[in-house]
A and B are shown apart, each in its own frame.
Chain A
Amino acid sequence: MKTILSGVCALALTASLSMGTAVAGTKIGAIFDLTGGLNIYGIQQNNALQLAVEEINANGGVLGEPIEVISYDAQSELSKYTQFANTAILRDKITALFAGLTSSSREAIRPIVRKANIPYFYSSLYEGGACDKVTFVTGSSASQQMSKLIEWGVSTYGPKIYIMAPDYNFGTISAHWVHEYATRNGGEVVGEDFLPLTVSDYAPTLQKIQAAKPDFVVALPVGANQTGFLEQFAAAGLKDRIGIVSTNYGSGNQQVVVSPQAGKGIIASAGYFMEVANDQNAKFVKKWQAKYGTDTPIVSGAVDVWNAVHLWALAVNKANSSETEAVIKALESGLSFDAPNGKVSLDSKSHHLNQNIYIAEGNADHGFDILVTFTDVPAVFEADKCDLVKDPGLAEHFTPES
């Protein structure tokens, strides 16, 4: 039995090795949530990828050939991410992967892409800290968004802050950053409440907020929780006395869903809003609307994917090869690019994207008015912890407590 097994092992090993040295094509893999509860993000991410590939192919593609996309629908289910990542790598032989929305999907994918040694792009706002040689993040990290938001919030509203966050990593880590930047900017966290994802009863939270008497609230709940909370907050007449800011409001077009009385005056901080005014964005929006229509505003996750694909293509062309080592070296060579959300540049050491951070205010038309633009904001925490040039073997997910 053992000899059979080891024989089988040897056979399989040779097979897998030979797979790795097969001729590299220009196939990329895309795994997003096209259906299921998260598809509001996933569909746009996928659309952005397709649009970017179209544009690049129209301009000659990479290495003189068109890019081929192998696309999978993760159905908002984590198990599908790992399954399709493995399929795309083992069977479809992709050379780069663009996938994931939630942090759990990213953490599930990272070991797989590290083992397969292909570049992986994570394009969504998140709590920050992802660090390894093959992973590149184009979404904004919590430290990027929070650093500017809290600074602005304290100076606009006052020093006392209440945090209302979902009880999982994105919420708890973002809350940590609020504490951090509050201290640095002379603010003070007067209370915090972490809600499980299944909660729909905000009354206790609203009592606690009123008892704490903050100057503004940092509201980070996700999905329907966000909407429900904001509606109740407004209905209780609290919006007049207490400011409300968020780093994820608008990321899923919540402003479309929330009623005007509740949405007006909410402050959001993100790396992109469709209302951003520059040439690149004008061209981008025009292209997007020509292909996908004008029904739904473009979310920041879409632009994050657009940026990722373009940066990858730039790197491949710069390296004149799609081999992983060469591409990573090119990506680490200080690439920058004129994106719809302003000029972005990839930090060589942390693999995160220095980008603009916008502070916008919800208006009565289910849209945003941009108030302030902070240019070229680095991902400070990641730059501090993660130096992949010096230490290429690093493979971590840094959290502020670690």
Chain B
Amino acid sequence: MDYFATVLISSLSSASILLIATLGLAVVFGLMGVINLAHGEFIMMGAYSALTATQLGIPFILAIPVAVLVTMVFGALVEIIIIRRLYGRLFDTMLATWGLSLALYQGAVLIFGSVSPGIGMPQINFNVGDYTLAAYPIFMILVAAVMLAGIYALLTRTVYGMKARAAIQVPDMARAIGIDSARTNTLTFAIGCGLAGFAGAILLPIVPATPSMGFAFVIKAFLTVVIAGPVTLAGSALAAIGVGTGASVVASFMTSVAGDLFFFILTVVLLRLYPLGVSAKWRIKL
């Protein structure tokens, strides 16, 4: 019984980690219709920024905003230089971001080498019956919830959020009433990258920074967004929690390979049933 409880808690934690990594991608996809195949590399960029900041003496808690800033600035540049020129060209955007992802990966290898110091995980743990669980990964459940709430507030309570949703829904109309949709799009993309940077930074104690860490996340994050469909926040949350928790539970009772396989197969099944995503017919918008 204890085992089952710990499995559930840590599976929820794994799902939260997946959600944290996926939210930036979901926001960009939901609001701009763009799949940023370099999303994993922005996570990596956030991780390395935070790492470098701590190596320069900045405490970890402050290194996180540094990471967010770095990735947001870089994201804005990418949007202006690349994404904006490919507006409406779905496949071309994917290809260009894919090229970017490989360039960033190799760039990181050249700059940082392939092994770099990690950030020790806080040595806090707690007991569930006979089992102990490290506290930090469980803390991620709270982080994911706060992130969701924060993004929701950003999109519904701020002027930017209103503009972003308008600019996407009817860009010409938005422009006609004075909303600079180009500027809004840049900000949206930058926010998506900033969220990725945040993920990389906050997950640093769990997932050490390596140039190839992007690849590890990318597959599950993309599949989650694709399963989720057009309702950005609620859809991704449901997909991450549903499929992610499921895969983790399977991994705990069988092997990790079985967990991965479960994830993929469930994706294929869900896409067969909901070709445009689970939330394609939902009435809520966010």
**Do B215 and A198 have beta carbons less than 8 Å apart?**
yes
- Interface-forming stretch among A87-95, A122-130, A204-212, A285-293? A204-212
- Is A36 on the interface with B (CB-CB < 8 A)? yes
Distance in angstroms from A42 CB to nearest chain B CB is: 10
**Do B207 and A235 have beta carbons less than 8 Å apart?**
no
Which single residue of chain A is at the shortest CB-CB distance from B203?
A200
**Do B110 and A203 have beta carbons less than 8 Å apart?**
no
The docked-state distance in angstroms from the alpha carbon of A234 to that of B14 is: 18
- Interface-forming stretch among B3-11, B75-83, B150-158? B3-11
Distance in angstroms from B8 CB to nearest chain A CB is: 10
Q: Which residues of B contact A210 (CB under 8 A)?
A: 6, 130-132
Which single residue of chain B is at the shortest CB-CB distance from A39?
B114
- Is B184 on the interface with A (CB-CB < 8 A)? no
**Do A194 and B120 have beta carbons less than 8 Å apart?**
no
Q: Which residues of B contact A224 (CB under 8 A)?
A: 115, 207-208, 210, 212-213
**Known contacts A37-B109, A193-B255, A235-B136, A261 near B118 by CB under 8 Å:** no
Q: Which residues of B contact A36 (CB under 8 A)?
A: 109, 114
Distance in angstroms from B219 CB to nearest chain A CB is: 7
**Do B124 and A204 have beta carbons less than 8 Å apart?**
no
- Interface-forming stretch among B166-174, B175-183, B256-264, B265-273? B256-264
Q: Which residues of B contact A252 (CB under 8 A)?
A: 115
Q: Which residues of B contact A237 (CB under 8 A)?
A: 123, 125, 132, 134
Task: Select the residue from A194, A231, A253, A254 with max chain B CB neighbours within 10 A.
Answer: A231
CB neighbors of B among A240-258 (8 A): 252-254, 256-258
- Is B185 on the interface with A (CB-CB < 8 A)? no
**Do A205 and B256 have beta carbons less than 8 Å apart?**
yes
CB neighbors of A among B109-135 (8 A): 109-110, 113-125, 130-135
- Name the interface size band of chain A: 35 or more
**Known contacts A204-B259, A257-B117, A35 near B10 by CB under 8 Å:** no
- Is B216 on the interface with A (CB-CB < 8 A)? yes
**Do B256 and A235 have beta carbons less than 8 Å apart?**
no
- Is B211 on the interface with A (CB-CB < 8 A)? yes
CB-contact partner of A257 in B6, B208, B255, under 8 A = B208
- Is B252 on the interface with A (CB-CB < 8 A)? yes
**Do B6 and A207 have beta carbons less than 8 Å apart?**
yes
CB-contact partner of A227 in B3, B118, B134, under 8 A = B118
CB-contact partner of A203 in B13, B123, B216, under 8 A = B13
Q: Which residues of B contact A61 (CB under 8 A)?
A: none
CB-CB contacts of A258-288 with B at 8 A, as 1s and 0s?
Answer: 1111100000000000000000000000000
**Known contacts A40-B113, A203-B137, A234 near B123 by CB under 8 Å:** yes
- Is A66 on the interface with B (CB-CB < 8 A)? no
CB neighbors of B among A91-147 (8 A): none
**Known contacts A39-B114, A235-B121, A203 near B14 by CB under 8 Å:** yes
CB-contact partner of A199 in B122, B130, B252, B260, under 8 A = B260
The docked-state distance in angstroms from the alpha carbon of A319 to that of B161 is: 79
The docked-state distance in angstroms from the alpha carbon of A209 to that of B257 is: 17
Q: Which residues of A contact B132 (CB under 8 A)?
A: 210, 236-238
**Do B114 and A235 have beta carbons less than 8 Å apart?**
no
Q: Which residues of A contact B279 (CB under 8 A)?
A: none
Q: Which residues of B contact A193 (CB under 8 A)?
A: 255-256
Q: Which residues of B contact A35 (CB under 8 A)?
A: 109-110
- Is B17 on the interface with A (CB-CB < 8 A)? yes
**Do B208 and A204 have beta carbons less than 8 Å apart?**
no
**Known contacts A224-B213, A232-B137, A203 near B118 by CB under 8 Å:** no
Distance in angstroms from A257 CB to nearest chain B CB is: 5
- Is B224 on the interface with A (CB-CB < 8 A)? no
- Is A201 on the interface with B (CB-CB < 8 A)? yes
- Is B206 on the interface with A (CB-CB < 8 A)? yes
Which single residue of chain B is at the shortest CB-CB distance from A210?
B131
The docked-state distance in angstroms from the alpha carbon of A262 to that of B117 is: 12
**Known contacts A237-B123, A260-B120, A200 near B115 by CB under 8 Å:** no
**Do B118 and A257 have beta carbons less than 8 Å apart?**
yes
The docked-state distance in angstroms from the alpha carbon of A2 to that of B271 is: 52
- Is A219 on the interface with B (CB-CB < 8 A)? no
**Do B208 and A227 have beta carbons less than 8 Å apart?**
yes
The docked-state distance in angstroms from the alpha carbon of A251 to that of B11 is: 32
The docked-state distance in angstroms from the alpha carbon of A171 to that of B9 is: 29
Q: Which residues of A contact B13 (CB under 8 A)?
A: 203
* 15 contacting pairs across A/B (C-beta < 8 A): A39-B113, A40-B115, A198-B219, A210-B6, A210-B130, A232-B121, A235-B125, A235-B135, A236-B125, A237-B125, A237-B134, A257-B117, A259-B117, A259-B119, A261-B120
Question: Which 6 residue pairs across A and B have the least CB separation, nearest first?
Answer: A259-B120, A203-B10, A235-B134, A204-B252, A235-B121, A236-B134
